[in-house]
Amino acid sequence: MNKAIGETNWVIPDGYIPPESSGSLLSHESICVLNCSAEDATLTISIYFEDRDPLSNITYVVPGQRTKHIRTSSLERDGEHIPTGVPYAIYIESDIPVVVQYSRLDSTQAENALMSTMGYPVRQA
């Protein structure tokens, strides 16, 4: 398939990187992006917080006909990262349609929890 599928704007309203881990697995979150198109997708990611200015204009490229799993802890702009233990939301803009999924591994307890959900696609009028 060389056709772009999905949407160009996605929202993930519930972000939270657990501050602790137990055992050998590290608590983390990932934005999972599927690009079915033959052309590269350029993503612009913005992170919104409850009590501070957004962390905006973070750019990633997802090559054509590939996936990219972006750890939210790796998102940074000018040396600023998402702090652990702080709620946040994610807004993703892509220059071509893509599909976005969000996953969280919470290993704060010995009984690990893995949560995954589709991002919310926003259709622009």
What pLDDT, on a 0 to 100 scale, did the predictor assign at position 18? 76
Rounded Cα gap, residues 38 and 44, in angstroms: 19
What phi and psi values does residue 73 have, to the nearest 5 degrees?
-70, -15
Give the residue extent of every domain in the chain. 7-120
Residues 6 or more apart whose Cβ sits within 8 Å of residue 91: 9, 10, 11, 45, 46, 48
To the question of domain 7-120 being in CATH 2.60.290.11, the answer is: yes
What pLDDT, on a 0 to 100 scale, did the predictor assign at position 73? 84
Please list the pLDDT of the chain residue by residue as tens digits (125 residues): 689 999 999 999 988 887 776 666 556 688 999 999 999 999 999 999 999 999 999 999 999 999 999 988 889 999 999 998 899 999 999 999 999 998 876 656 566 566 667 899 998 75
